[in-house]
Structure 1
Amino acid sequence: MFPLFDLSLKINGFPMKEAKAELRKIVSFSEKEYSAFLENKKVEIVNFHLQNNPFYQELVGSNSTDWDDLPVLNKRTLQKPLLERLSNGYSPKNSYVNKTSGSSGDPFIFAKDKYSHALTWASVIYRFGWYGIDFNRSYQARFYGIPMDFIGNKKERFKDFLGRRFRFSIFDLSDEILEGFLKHFQTKKFDYINGYTSSIVLFAKFLQKKNIVLKDICPSLKVCIVTSEMLYDEDQILLKLQFGIPIINEYGASELDLIAFQNPLGEWQVNSETLFVEILDDTNRAVPNGTSGRIVITSLFNKAHPFIRYDIGDIGLLDEKSTLKKLILKKLIGRTNDIAILPSGKKSPGLTFYYVTKSIIEDDGNVKEFIIKQTKIDTFEIEYVSENELTAIQIQKIEDAITVYLENGLNFSFNRKEKLKRNKNGKLMQFISLIKEIK
């Protein structure tokens, strides 16, 4: 089979051969060799941005450059036009540029240099390989959203073709639609499932009602990999029962890399090849393994844009048995999304609002934070913090997008706030359902 996936990365300028070689080298390090590698990379990436990135120079200022004294960044720190944050010599044309999902309520545009992004793919390919998945040959059942506009939709479908993926759009997860999903599994030889946790769990609940085990009707299935949202223990048990295959938990962030991935021993192994992960307290000091704190991450290779001591907005703790090279994420707190139940009976995961809120994510940093609350079956409230109030045109654009992705007849109110209320863990959820409907 022709390696279309590898070819597509090469055509887009990602040096995969070099990235895969570097990753293999890092993986082979002993603990002592890894310790030296990590300290060198931390010094190297900080010095690079201090010398080449005016935005980071200003953040650090004249303060000490000892690691523990470096500023801790977050999404709000980075909500400035991208051109003001890029390192010298980098531009949107010679970098990989994308938008965060906004699932935490803090959207922004980011960049990676192409070698750094190639390492991201090398890391993903390496870990999926633990379960016999080859992106050039394995066929993916993909539970993700997809743009509804013609050009965006066709572009995503073409990428699916190159990546050997069949996409199940997750904007409508009613029983009628899920019945259609089931027919595809009966007729296609999928090797693995990958996608948003809540959508895949809803499909499993549908199978449970029909007393169907997915592996029985699609024997080619090897593994299911869930991402983007919290996978609760009871849901993992449900998925394993109804799919009849191993269920693998992934934790990542588009602006960084794959952060942690469940290894064949069942441990949530941290990506220590391209990232340095710290668990910090409220004073920005590292806590002992086994103690919960803020997950703060450094991208060791990204020269286009500084992600140095970057607070991702989650709370977690590392296992006491962790080593420097093999960190084990024992627990992750947060990163859940609710399900929206609509008047028609349609069910849509909270991540649907990622596609809706693309309408208000602009590269001017105006909208700082937002929460979407479902207060009644047909009523939603959008609270947002911004420098300037949303215009009538922007609001209309959002309402049009909501009609496309959800359905007609929904009521929305827009309330600009000085500050948004966070949960007890400091997490700002993008979507919150306040209704008592069965999910």
Structure 2
Amino acid sequence: MGIKKYIYKLGVKVQRPRLFEEYAFLKRTEKWSIEQLKALQLNKLRHQLRTAYDQTVYYKNLFDRMHMLPEEIDCLDKLSLLPIINKRFVINHLDEMTNIHAGKSYYAETSGSTGEALCLDRNEKWDTSARAAQLRGYSWYGVNPWEKNGYFWGYSNHFAKTCKVRLMDGLMNRFRLFSYQEEEIIAFANKLCKAVYIEGYASMIYEVAKVINRLKLGPYHLKMVKGTSEQIYDYYQDEVQKAFGQKMISEYGSMETGLIAYECTYGRQHIIMENVIVEEIKGEAVITNLNSFSVPLIRYQLGDGIVLDRSSHCPCGMQHTCIGEISGRVGKLIYGKEDSYPGLTLYYIFKNYTRTYGHMWNYQAVQTVPGKLTINLEQEIDEENKHRILEECRRYFHDDIEVAICSKALKRDYTKKFCDFISDLH
């Protein structure tokens, strides 16, 4: 056994002793029929609802107000009888929703990219099952977690925290960027010759790929390039494929819901049905985590736009329901002089443009004043294409919003998630 594999397995034994047991279960179920998977979901849901009723103030009061017992939800369709909750609701009712008898737990905190951070304790099965689902996804690409890998994630400039991160990265056989200066990217790229995979913020992977291609440092031949925590835009893929020898695949989830879906080698995003139930409600993702006992998250509105895909059988052999499209964060509004519009309107404006004209633009929109919107592009744009984008904007905004398009004006903050719409309005 190699030293890195030994260190990894020792760490698992100490920190997450049931990880490989959970992983083995998920490998057995990955070829289950859809009927078997739904039966498993129902059994786990009934157990979760009974535990939530017995151990939390909120769910005890909820069922009592509804004059129901948890056992009356005896099929998956009846889950819709329960109310939808969101991050703000959980923050406000965390004490009532917490099960203090859930056993060993791990502290977790959301990034706060939506403007509010949620801090909670995830019970052992909640945490471990999400990590096991990630390992199953790795296995589809022939990747082991102890193999050398590059990491694109947040970091602290505080000296002590930086030292701790470097130590942990060394133990995990990974390396990361602590600066996005060109010389740092070159040093990072030199380590890719011995790497097996890279993972992290999708926008950061894309930016590094561009530098590698511009400086002709690659191509590298990785087994897996995994983007997470952000939307993966179509225009990322050409640069990523050229730099790393693989397209970027998607791992979709969040801190609070755990891993929701993982992209298989045929490009379809399979829901981890053993761990979560995913509903598409008015185009938004509503998640029930079947292992969240310390803070039961039942019908949790994640804030992402999705489209479920139950249309066909995947060539990979899995029958798990797929997510056909993730259109990004919903909730923020673009304000006109008279009306307001969903922030996702921008996604559809540029999607329609690409379908019509074939070209993909790297963009970020900024609003500081109602009725005005600035779209910053990464590339240079000529007047003809600027006119085409403005026409597409008028299809949605009419004359309610004045749109300005700026060439070569897109600036990225590499310490944060990338957002295609930034608003100072509330």
Per the normalisation by structure 1, the TM-score is 0.67
Q: Deviations along 1:377-431, whole A, 9 cap, x unmatched?
A: xxxxxxxxxxxxxxxxxxxxxxxxxxxxxxxxxxxxxxxxxxxxxxx9xxxxxxx
**Contact 1:224/1:245 (8 A) holds in 2:** yes
Match of 2:371 in 1: none
Structure-2 change in CA distance of 1:242 and 1:127 (3 Å): same
Structure-2 change in CA distance of 1:325 and 1:78 (3 Å): farther
1:27 maps to a residue whose letter is E
For the residue of structure 2 that corresponds to 1:195, the secondary structure is strand
> Among 79, 84, 87, which residue is 1:75 paired with?
87
Match of 1:128 in 2: 138
**Contact 1:374/1:435 (8 A) holds in 2:** no
Match of 2:418 in 1: none
Q: Aligned partners of 2:216 and 2:295: how far apart in 1?
A: 49
Q: Deviations along 1:129-154, whole A, 9 cap, x unmatched?
A: 11111013x11111112233344333
Tell me by how many angstroms 1:259 deviates: 1.4
Q: Aligned partners of 1:298 and 1:434: how far apart in 2?
A: 42
1:22 and 2:12 correspond:
no
Match of 2:360 in 1: none
1:147 maps to a residue whose letter is S
**Contact 1:272/1:325 (8 A) holds in 2:** no
Match of 1:367 in 2: none
| Residue identity (%) | 28
For the residue of structure 2 that corresponds to 1:72, the secondary structure is coil
**Larger Rg over CA atoms:** 2
Match of 1:411 in 2: none
Structure-2 change in CA distance of 1:50 and 1:265 (3 Å): same
For the residue of structure 1 that corresponds to 2:113, the secondary structure is coil
- Residues 284-303 of structure 1 aligned to structure 2 (within 5 Å): 293-303=283-293
Structure having the higher helix fraction is: 2
- Residues 168-179 of structure 1 aligned to structure 2 (within 5 Å): 168-169=177-178, 172-179=179-186
**Contact 1:225/1:249 (8 A) holds in 2:** yes
Per the normalisation by structure 2, the TM-score is 0.69
Q: Aligned partners of 2:84 and 2:312: how far apart in 1?
A: 23
1:258 and 2:259 correspond:
yes
1:68 maps to a residue whose letter is S
For the residue of structure 1 that corresponds to 2:235, the secondary structure is helix
Tell me by how many angstroms 1:247 deviates: 2.4
For the residue of structure 2 that corresponds to 1:24, the secondary structure is helix
- Residues 59-138 of structure 1 aligned to structure 2 (within 5 Å): 59-63=62-66, 64=68, 66-80=78-92, 83-90=95-102, 94-136=104-146, 138=147
Structure-2 change in CA distance of 1:68 and 1:112 (3 Å): same
Q: Aligned partners of 1:18 and 1:314: how far apart in 2?
A: 31
For the residue of structure 2 that corresponds to 1:315, the secondary structure is strand
**Contact 2:285/2:306 (8 A) holds in 1:** yes
Structure-2 change in CA distance of 1:152 and 1:374 (3 Å): farther
1:304 maps to a residue whose letter is S
Q: Aligned partners of 1:59 and 1:108: how far apart in 2?
A: 22
1:139 and 2:148 correspond:
yes
Q: Deviations along 1:201-249, whole A, 9 cap, x unmatched?
A: 111121232244331xxx5x32211111111111112211222224212
1:189 maps to a residue whose letter is K
1:437 maps to a residue whose letter is A
Comparing 80-89 and 142-151, the one that deviates more: 80-89
Tell me by how many angstroms 1:295 deviates: 0.3
1:333 maps to a residue whose letter is S
Comparing 236-245 and 52-61, the one that deviates more: 52-61
**Contact 1:173/1:199 (8 A) holds in 2:** no
Q: Aligned partners of 2:218 and 2:158: how far apart in 1?
A: 35
Q: Aligned partners of 1:269 and 1:18: how far apart in 2?
A: 21
**Contact 1:60/1:71 (8 A) holds in 2:** no
For the residue of structure 2 that corresponds to 1:79, the secondary structure is helix
2:168 maps to a residue whose letter is K
Tell me by how many angstroms 1:100 deviates: 0.5
For the residue of structure 1 that corresponds to 2:52, the secondary structure is helix
Match of 1:315 in 2: 305
For the residue of structure 2 that corresponds to 1:326, the secondary structure is coil
Q: Aligned partners of 2:160 and 2:96: how far apart in 1?
A: 29
**Contact 1:97/1:112 (8 A) holds in 2:** yes
Match of 2:203 in 1: 198
1:156 maps to a residue whose letter is V
| CA RMSD in angstroms, aligned pairs only | 2.8
Structure-2 change in CA distance of 1:302 and 1:133 (3 Å): same
Tell me by how many angstroms 1:374 deviates: 9.3
Tell me by how many angstroms 1:182 deviates: 2.8
Q: Aligned partners of 2:38 and 2:136: how far apart in 1?
A: 21
Structure-2 change in CA distance of 1:9 and 1:99 (3 Å): same
Structure-2 change in CA distance of 1:247 and 1:264 (3 Å): same
**Contact 1:45/1:303 (8 A) holds in 2:** yes
Q: Aligned partners of 1:155 and 1:211: how far apart in 2?
A: 33
Match of 1:349 in 2: none
Tell me by how many angstroms 1:59 deviates: 4.7
2:326 maps to a residue whose letter is L
> Among 409, 413, 422, which residue is 1:437 paired with?
409
Structure-2 change in CA distance of 1:7 and 1:75 (3 Å): same
Q: Aligned partners of 2:164 and 2:92: how far apart in 1?
A: 28
For the residue of structure 2 that corresponds to 1:255, the secondary structure is coil
Q: Deviations along 1:334-358, whole A, 9 cap, x unmatched?
A: 149xxxxxxxxxxxxxxxxxxxxxx
1:228 and 2:229 correspond:
yes
**Contact 1:100/1:254 (8 A) holds in 2:** yes
Aligned length: 326
Q: Aligned partners of 2:131 and 2:114: how far apart in 1?
A: 24
2:91 maps to a residue whose letter is Q
Tell me by how many angstroms 1:434 deviates: 9.8
For the residue of structure 1 that corresponds to 2:255, the secondary structure is coil
1:226 maps to a residue whose letter is G
Tell me by how many angstroms 1:178 deviates: 2.3
Tell me by how many angstroms 1:176 deviates: 3.7
Q: Aligned partners of 1:314 and 1:265: how far apart in 2?
A: 23
Q: Aligned partners of 1:264 and 1:276: how far apart in 2?
A: 23
For the residue of structure 1 that corresponds to 2:184, the secondary structure is helix
Match of 1:421 in 2: none
